[in-house]
Each structure stands twice: as structure tokens, then as C-alpha cells.
Amino acid sequence: MRGSGVSTGSWPGPWSKGEVADGAEVVDYIVRQPWSSGRVGSTGISYEGTTCEMLLANRHEAVVAVAPRFSLLCAYEDVAFPGGAHLSWFTERWARYNRLLDDHRAHEAMAELVYVIASARSREEAFWSPPARALLDRAGPDLTKRLIGTVFGVFHRGGRRVDVDADGSQRARALLDHAKNGDVHELCLLGQFRDDVAPGSEEVAFSTVSPRGNLDAIRASGAAVFSYGGWLDGGYAQSAARRFSSLGRTELLLGPWGHAGFFAHAPGKRTAPAAFPHEVELLRFFDRELRGEGRAESRPVRYFTLVANEWKQASTWPPPNVERERLTITASRALSPEPASEAWLRVQRDPSFGTGERSRWRGLLAGFVPADYPDFTSRVRGQAVFTGPTSASGMVITGHPLVRLKARAEADFVVMAYLAEVSPSGDVTYISEGHLRAIHRALGVPEAGYVPHSPYHSFEQKDALPVERGVLLDLEIGLLPTSYWVRPGHRLALVLTLGDADHFTPLEGASEIELLAGASSVEVPVERG
């Protein structure tokens, strides 16, 4: 695209108007070719997944089907600021990766990705030998990345010349143009709200560059959309569910995967390469929409229930057989299906708490990082953990869990809510999570046609509410969707923290909150029948 590789021009930021319009020109070229049927489909993963969805905003009559996979719907909520908390671990590293590519330092860009994968998997005997692991620990991140970059640099340094550029002049022009490229991380530092627009960067405002901000045009295209995601892939399972419900002519597939679908996750077990035939699914969809082969799904929702290892079908999302169960937070730090008396509990901020290097967020940069939370038990020790009763028959949670808190604090804060399963031996297994910065607690009405499936917060500056000392706050935190079997004899747990230092920018606000037990609860969507 313009502003990248050896292309001249500049890249102001993701999915700018010029970049989206360029996609229409590519389609024009395709349909002029003698081999073209005049019917075009597009697919992609991550950035390219959003690119194929944004292609529909052009309303090009030739584009009749797209399959956005493992990709965002809202750049603010799904990746840059989930719940209003800045996912700075990702935005900083992704911006640096882009800059290295723009500067034709591809070997250093690859070193960034390989280091993330290596550090996340350095404890696996099958991945690293003990001497290699010791070397990684001793060298530290900077030296390790330089060594990896040196190895890649032997084979490829980027900026390869193209046929029309025998003297290398286009590469030199491109490098000059790329110096004007935007920096996503810097833009996020300048704006903390969904409606913020950085000076001179109107072209890359959150609403402009997101499919969510272009839903009317995408619907008007009339194209079929295959919404495709994984339960452990950043905020993108939420994107897939919202895309399915907010657009017509869609089908939804949600599987046991992290980013890009490389790994299949089996909670409590070793993560393994995914054996699912992703390519077969894509060919089925495009054969139907581009060639007229096959019929549309009568039950367009297919999803995988973790732990039970079972694929299911439904006519809607959430499935029609789901009912919500409410568990009250009690003064004894339990989750009770019965009402409980009110009492104040303290939840303190632990600056050292983080969810580690094998999380749903790390895979956004490098899909080969497993999102299996192998040490979640030890990480949540000492945090505010509320445990439910033993489940005699087990339960299947499918949909969007919801946490409702009544709390007070002296200043603004971010609350992180984690849903987990506790085994009879005390092992704690991660299920899902949700976040909310307190100033964004106001509930509103979503724009026409947008279906959030969770309490709607606009995250816009005009709706921000201050946090005043001693004033009781109502917080409704939508957790990321899942389908998970809590086994008989196991218990459900809710973990509350005031941050995740491994991924999100710490908020300089309240060091603790007071939580009103008896008036706070978690709702879980449970399958019946």
C-alpha cells in the first residue's frame, strides 16, 4: 500500500481514506482482466482482515463477499483502548514494528516478532533447549533482538528493488516519503477518548478508520460477510460477534483459537497447533458467494465450546437456549446464587500484577504466542478473588458475561474483571476478562444498527463522568464472549484487579476502591437443554 515497502507516498495511519480508495482501484484492475468473472471476494487476517472489510465501504458493485478473520470492528474498543484502558504494550510495539518496515529494516522488524515469541515460549522444553533458554535470560531483550536481527539481516534487509527501479531511485524516494508516516502509539498518547482527533490527523480518527464507523456503507454494499474469530484472540471474538449481529447477510464462526488461528487452546492442557481446516471454510464460503455453489447456512452461527471440545450450531448469537444466572458478591468473598447482606470490601491496586507473556493480548503482535495463561493460579494469588459454589452438574457458559459493581474511590481507576474456573485442587483457569475505566461508566444508546451485546459505553469525551470522593458508582463491565464448560465438581470465580501492568498503561489514580458486597454481582450466560 502507499507509504509502505518500496511504495512511495506516506501512510497517515491505519485504513485512511486514501488507502481504502486504493482498494477500489485494485478491484477496477481485477475486473478488467480477461480471467475475471467480474465477481470479487476478499479475505485477510488482522490488519488485512480489516482492510477487506473496509473495502466494502467503497460500495464497489464487483465486491460481493468478504471474510474478515481475527480482526477488529472498532479500533478503539477492540484493540487500542479496551474498556477505555490503553493497551500500550501492543500499540507501542506495533508502531515500532511498522516504523522498522517503513525504514526498510525488515530484519529488525522480524527480530521484534521473534523475540516476543521466544520470550513467551522460552520455558517450553520442546521449543528451547536449556542452554538456549539460559542464553536468552542472560542476554536480555536488547542484545537478543540485535542478535536475531543480525541473523535475519544475512538473508534480507528489506526494500528490494522492483523491475522499474534498476537504479534504486524509487527506494530512495520511498524512504523520504515514509518519514512522514503516522505513528499509532503517539496518536493514542495524544487522545484517550473514542471521539478524540489528534491535530493534523483527522484522517485517522477512531471512527473514520474502523468498520464500525462505516457500517452504513458496508451494509449498503450488499456483500456477504463471513465473520471469523477465536475465543482467545485479543478483543476480536467480540468484534466477530458484533459484526455478525450488526450486518445483514453474515455468518459467524468462533473457534478455540488465538490470533490468526495458528493454535487450538484446550484450557488446562498444552496448547497445540490448530488442526482445523481454515482453508476449507474459506473455499466453501467463496464458492457459494462467487460461484453460486452450495446453499447459505440455515443456522449461520457455529461455535466451539472449550473444555467440552464440541462444535455447535445456532440460528442467532447469543444462541437462543442461553439464560443468564446472577451470582452475588458476598462479604466473605464468595459468589452466591442467593441475595447477600451489604458490606464494604477493599480491592487494592497491586502494581506488580500482570497476566503474563502468554495472553490473548500478546498474540496480536505475533500469532505464534499461545494464549493459554499457564501460570494464572499463581498470578491471581493475593488479588481479590470471589469463588462460587461447587457445580454439581457443571454448566456451559456461552455468550457475554457481565459484572455489575457498586464501588467508591478517591480518584479515577480502571477495574479489570477476570472470569475463571477453580478445580477441586485449587488450580485457577482463565476463562475471559473485561475492563472499564471509571470515567466511562455512563450507559448510553448505541448508534442505529450497532449491536454491542454488552452494556453500552460511548467512551466519548462528552459522556465522561468524574470520580468524586465517597460517591457511590455504578459500574457495568461487559466481559469478552466465550463458550466454556465448567466441569462438575469445579467452581466459578471472579477476580478483580485495578490494572494489568503487563499490557495496559497503569492509571495514576486511586490506589484502592471500596466495593459494596451484596449489591455487586456477576451474570453468566448459561446454556439450557
Catalytic residue positions? 46, 233, 259
- Is residue 199 over pLDDT 90? no
Q: What confidence tens digit (pLDDT) does each residue in 373-432 have? A: 999 999 999 999 999 999 999 999 999 999 999 999 999 999 999 999 999 999 999 999
- pLDDT of amino acid 124: 65
- pLDDT of amino acid 325: 98
- pLDDT of amino acid 151: 79
Q: Residues 6 or more apart from 288 whose CB is under 8 A from it? A: 294, 295, 296
208 three-state secondary structure: helix
Residue 172 falls in which region: left (phi positive, over 0), alpha (psi -120 to 50) or beta: alpha
Segment 484-498 shows an average pLDDT of: 98
Pairing label, strands 250-255, 301-305: parallel
Q: What confidence tier does 127 reach under pLDDT thresholds 50, 70, 90?
A: low
Cell of 281: 471454510
User: What span, in angstroms and rounded, lies between the C-alpha atoms of 324 and 398?
Assistant: 10
- pLDDT of amino acid 99: 94
Place of cell 517503513: 102
User: What are the residue ranges spanned by the domains of the chain?
Assistant: 322-527
Residue range 322-527 in CATH 2.60.120.260: yes
User: What span, in angstroms and rounded, lies between the C-alpha atoms of 473 and 514?
Assistant: 10
- Is residue 444 over pLDDT 70? yes
**Which residue did the predictor score with more confidence, 338 or 529?**
338
User: What span, in angstroms and rounded, lies between the C-alpha atoms of 367 and 94?
Assistant: 13
**Which residue did the predictor score with more confidence, 324 or 191?**
324
Q: Residues 6 or more apart from 63 whose CB is under 8 A from it? A: 27, 40, 41, 42, 55, 56, 221, 223
Q: What confidence tens digit (pLDDT) does each residue in 219-277 have? A: 999 999 999 999 999 999 999 999 999 998 899 999 999 999 999 999 988 788 999 99
- pLDDT of amino acid 405: 98
| H-helix segments, 247-358 | 278-291
User: What span, in angstroms and rounded, lies between the C-alpha atoms of 418 and 505?
Assistant: 18
- Is residue 163 over pLDDT 70? no
485 three-state secondary structure: strand
- Is residue 197 over pLDDT 70? yes
User: From the CB of residue 274, how many other CB atoms can be counted at a distance below 10 Å?
Assistant: 18
Minimum mean pLDDT range among 200-204, 222-226, 321-325, 498-502 = 200-204
Global pTM value = 0.95
In DSSP terms, which residues pair with 334 in a beta bridge? 387
Place of cell 502494581: 351
- Is residue 486 over pLDDT 60? yes
What is the SS3 string spanning 426-455?
Answer: CCEEEEEEEEEEHHHCCCCCCCCCCCCCCC
Q: What confidence tier does 61 reach under pLDDT thresholds 50, 70, 90?
A: very high
Minimum mean pLDDT range among 168-172, 185-189, 377-381, 510-514 = 168-172
CB 371 within 8 A of CB 363: yes
Where in 129-269 does DSSP place strands (E)?
Answer: 224-230, 250-255, 263-264
Q: What confidence tens digit (pLDDT) does each residue in 272-299 have? A: 899 999 999 999 999 999 999 988 878 9
Q: What confidence tier does 159 reach under pLDDT thresholds 50, 70, 90?
A: low
Mean pLDDT, rounded, of the chain = 93
Pairing label, strands 272-273, 263-264: antiparallel
Q: What confidence tens digit (pLDDT) does each residue in 39-58 have? A: 999 999 999 999 999 999 99
Q: What confidence tens digit (pLDDT) does each residue in 87-98 have? A: 999 999 999 999
What is the SS3 string spanning 54-73?
Answer: HHHHHCCCCEEEEEEECCCC
